[in-house]
Chain A
Amino acid sequence: MDQDRHTIVRVIGVKKDFALGKQTVHVLKGVDLEVYAGEYISIMGPSGSGKSTLFNMIGGLDKPTDGKVFIDEVDISQLDAYELAWLRNRKIGYIFQTFNLIPVMTALENVTLPMTFAGMNGDDAMEKGIELLKLVGLGERFQHKPLELSGGQQQRVAIARSLANDPAIILADEPTGNLDLSTGEEIIELCRMLSEERGVTIISATHDYKMLNVSDRVVWIRDGMIDKIQHREDLDISVGGIGGPENGHVPGGEAP
């Protein structure tokens, strides 16, 4: 079934080195990945395995040392600053572990800022912003500043903001990392709803096993390389086999 779907993200042989003093750390050691439009992908792996680094490459926030990233079949290393800004503005929505709302702006202003960059006029942006805040369940709180909101509420604003210009892709780096269990579940449910109802592609780096249940595929990363990629159907079996994700085991931790 995969062959006739549109590949929205194509990662080819991506390597990333960081220079730490005289040493070079090889954080990504050649990652190949294809993500199809409308998919919900979770990138799982231990801390320090390179999830955020890969996430930054896909999002055009950092450049690979080697290899290429294609978004909608366009090599993003070939884009100039203006095109890259446009890509970040219109094609990709970012969600971060630390929410990263702009503290001096209200929830609504945070959500409408990308629309302003995109050239939408003030009234339309306002209307759409309120609509998006309602969608994420923050209908009445749009005049609040981020610090007046709880973590879960801030993350909802961030999700609304990521949707501002109807992006094709949402990149979420540990969106539930700073939230308690039930709030995290609500955020995951929201992501699932967006993926199903809006057809937006979601790529999420996470430690959170609750994410697995809503993912179409799970990409396991270890030491800067893809360990394995599992489809949800395969996951269900192994989750069932182990007895649910709650017991702390890695579902499907053994070789496929």
Chain B
Amino acid sequence: MSKNFSGTRSVPQGEAIQRAISLPWAKSVEISYKSLRVRLFRSMITVGSLVLAVSFLAFVLVNLDVASGILHHGGDNAAALLTLAGYDVDPATHGVAMTAKERWIVILSLLVCTVGIVNAQLMSVTERFSEIGVMKCLGALDSMILRIFLLEAAMQGLLGAGIGALAGFIFSLLAGLVRFGTLSVAYLPWGSVLASMGIAVLAGCGLSLLGVLYPALLAARMRPIKALRAEH
């Protein structure tokens, strides 16, 4: 649908109103990346809190993998050994699970991390009020602003969660070596270790996106006039 203009007598006017406004993905990524780099310190704090939370999650998950490896291959006294080490061993199914306490700590750490991200992203939005307003004056759509913030969060999420998962894995291996000796590495089920790290990375990215959702919606819905006035 387009609306036509009447009166095309002088000067270069008369173009009908259209609705084609676009921002290619490559450009969105570039803008997001640059915004992150310019506010490196702030972004690194967000990434840091993700690294902590995700590494803890990965640590706990890989620990379980180590334990189940030992349980399946370590003979009869393996179950006793693991129970002694504090694992919840289910003799019927031959499975190891997180203790209730561990589960709570993991959930809490993820929650705290999300709250931290929401806080950091809200600050980032407030700081960029006028920038967002200008972009809207230049024709940016709500969806573009949203996309830029989501992309930033995704990049922070990938980086933080990637580092975190790796760190958690390494710590878990070290802890296994200390507690169970070479047994832990020898029987390590690599498939489920990879899966655990994948879960940790996904959880990290998910948290990062979840944390930015409300601030990003706030930014995207803001009317340009409000954003421009905010500066004065």
Residues of A in contact with B (beta carbons under 8 Å apart)? 4-8, 37-38, 56, 59, 61-62, 72-74, 78-83, 85-91, 94, 96, 98, 100-105, 113-114, 116-119, 161, 164, 166, 168, 199, 201
Indicate if the CB atoms of B231 and A72 lie closer than 8 Å.
no
Partner among A56, A79, A81, A201 whose Cβ is within 8 Å of the Cβ of B225: A56
Indicate if the CB atoms of A114 and B20 lie closer than 8 Å.
no
Interface segment among B62-70, B104-112, B128-136: the answer is B128-136
Instruction: Name the CB-closest residue of B to A100.
Output: B134
A15 vs chain B, min Cβ distance (A):
17
How many pairs of residues, A versus B, come closer than 8 Å at their CB atoms? 124
Indicate if the CB atoms of B34 and A85 lie closer than 8 Å.
no
Indicate if the CB atoms of A82 and B141 lie closer than 8 Å.
yes
Q: Which residues of B contact A201 (CB under 8 A)?
A: 11
1/0 contact trace for B1-20 toward A, CB 8 Å?
A: 00101111111111101111
Partner among B14, B38, B135, B139 whose Cβ is within 8 Å of the Cβ of A72: B14
For the complex, is B21 an interface residue (Cβ under 8 Å from A)?
yes
Indicate if the CB atoms of B130 and A100 lie closer than 8 Å.
yes
Q: Which residues of B contact A117 (CB under 8 A)?
A: 21-23, 138-140, 144
B2 vs chain A, min Cβ distance (A):
8
Indicate if the CB atoms of A6 and B13 lie closer than 8 Å.
yes
By secondary structure, the B interface counts as loop
A53 vs chain B, min Cβ distance (A):
10
Q: A62-B225, A72-B7, A88-B138 are in contact. List 18 more A-B contacts (CB 8 A).
A: A6-B8, A37-B11, A61-B137, A74-B5, A81-B142, A82-B19, A85-B139, A86-B17, A86-B21, A86-B139, A89-B138, A104-B34, A104-B35, A104-B131, A105-B34, A117-B138, A118-B21, A118-B139
| Bound Cα distance A124, B224 (Å) | 28
Listed residue (B11, B14, B23, B144) with the most chain A CB atoms within 10 angstroms of its CB? B11
| Bound Cα distance A244, B135 (Å) | 40
Partner among A5, A61, A72 whose Cβ is within 8 Å of the Cβ of B10: A5
Indicate if the CB atoms of A116 and B35 lie closer than 8 Å.
no
Assuming the contacts A81-B141, A85-B141, asked whether A166 and B12 have C-beta atoms less than 8 A apart, the reply is yes
A4 vs chain B, min Cβ distance (A):
7
For the complex, is B27 an interface residue (Cβ under 8 Å from A)?
yes
Instruction: Name the CB-closest residue of A to B142.
Output: A81
Residues of B in contact with A (beta carbons under 8 Å apart)? 3, 5-15, 17-24, 27, 34-35, 38, 130-131, 133-142, 144, 223-225, 228, 231-232
Indicate if the CB atoms of A7 and B12 lie closer than 8 Å.
no
List 27 A–B pairs whose Cβ atoms lie within 8 Å, in order of A's numbering: A6-B11, A38-B11, A56-B225, A59-B137, A61-B137, A62-B225, A73-B5, A73-B6, A74-B17, A80-B19, A81-B142, A85-B136, A86-B19, A86-B20, A86-B139, A88-B136, A89-B138, A98-B231, A100-B137, A100-B228, A101-B134, A103-B38, A116-B24, A117-B22, A164-B138, A166-B12, A168-B11
Partner among B8, B12, B38, B133 whose Cβ is within 8 Å of the Cβ of A104: B38
Q: Which residues of B contact A161 (CB under 8 A)?
A: 138
A196 vs chain B, min Cβ distance (A):
12
B145 vs chain A, min Cβ distance (A):
11
Indicate if the CB atoms of A6 and B7 lie closer than 8 Å.
yes
Q: Which residues of A contact B139 (CB under 8 A)?
A: 85-86, 88-90, 114, 117-118
Q: Which residues of B contact A90 (CB under 8 A)?
A: 15, 139
Indicate if the CB atoms of B7 and A102 lie closer than 8 Å.
no
Indicate if the CB atoms of B13 and A168 lie closer than 8 Å.
yes
Q: Which residues of A contact B18 (CB under 8 A)?
A: 83, 86
Q: Which residues of A contact B134 (CB under 8 A)?
A: 100-102
Ranked nearest first, the 7 interchain pairs of A and B with the lowest CB-CB distance are: A89-B139, A82-B19, A37-B11, A104-B38, A72-B5, A61-B225, A114-B138
Indicate if the CB atoms of A113 and B137 lie closer than 8 Å.
no
| Bound Cα distance A91, B130 (Å) | 21
Q: Which residues of B contact A62 (CB under 8 A)?
A: 223, 225
Indicate if the CB atoms of B17 and A6 lie closer than 8 Å.
no
Q: Which residues of A contact B133 (CB under 8 A)?
A: 100
Indicate if the CB atoms of A74 and B3 lie closer than 8 Å.
yes
Q: Which residues of B contact A56 (CB under 8 A)?
A: 225
A178 vs chain B, min Cβ distance (A):
11
Instruction: Name the CB-closest residue of A to B138.
Output: A114
